[in-house]
Amino acid sequence: MKVINLHQEEKEVIELAVDNNRHAQHQIYSKFAPKMLSVCRQYIKDVHLAEDIMITAFMKVFTNLKNFEHKGSFEGWIRRIMINECISYIRVHKKVTFIEDENYYEETHNNIESQFSVEDIQFLIDNLPDGYKMVFNLYCIEGFKHQEIATMLSINEGTSKSQLSHARKMLQDTIIKLKNYSNGTE
């Protein structure tokens, strides 16, 4: 029986792309662009702007490809660059404020069986204030810990927890209002 290294082909494509092989770079872009656009879209409401940011981030991917150490997931490495590019864009182009809330408390959150589509949920997340949205995405979608989020956003860990708590509360309130509206009780 012959054992095939599944990651060998990816490693070869990366090495070719490091040497500015346009075909290899196109392969990487074609493979990861759809997923990375959805990552950027989680942070950036306008799909065209999200696409612009994704393209800028891919330029950084190709510029820094020589620094990829083949430790861990290549997709994860690209994803991190996308997230950082979105955060950088938001910092530069929007006045994001993070409210310090020393008195926040962590609530227990019920998992609501969703009757909402992915687009509906994305719409709800898009309507969160930028600070809430960034922390919510980083924690709930990307799986970062509050300490990591605090470092990424240059905020206190408590502020990260507070922003998440407020985002969850805001989402829950909106979902309850929508359910009441659809049930005719509001």
Rounded Cα gap, residues 169 and 81, in angstroms: 29
**What are the CA-CA distances from residue 140 to residues 1, 3, 19, 108, 158 (Å)?**
42, 37, 37, 15, 16
**What are the CA-CA distances from residue 116 to residues 77, 105, 112, 173, 179 (Å)?**
31, 28, 10, 15, 10
| Highest mean pLDDT: which range of 90-104, 112-126, 151-165 | 151-165
For residue 83, the model assigns a pLDDT of 95
pTM for this one? 0.73
pLDDT score of 108 more than 90: no
Residue 163: count other Cβ atoms within 10 Å of its Cβ. Answer: 29
Given pLDDT bands bounded at 50, 70 and 90, which one contains residue 104? low
Given pLDDT bands bounded at 50, 70 and 90, which one contains residue 2? very low
Given pLDDT bands bounded at 50, 70 and 90, which one contains residue 121? confident
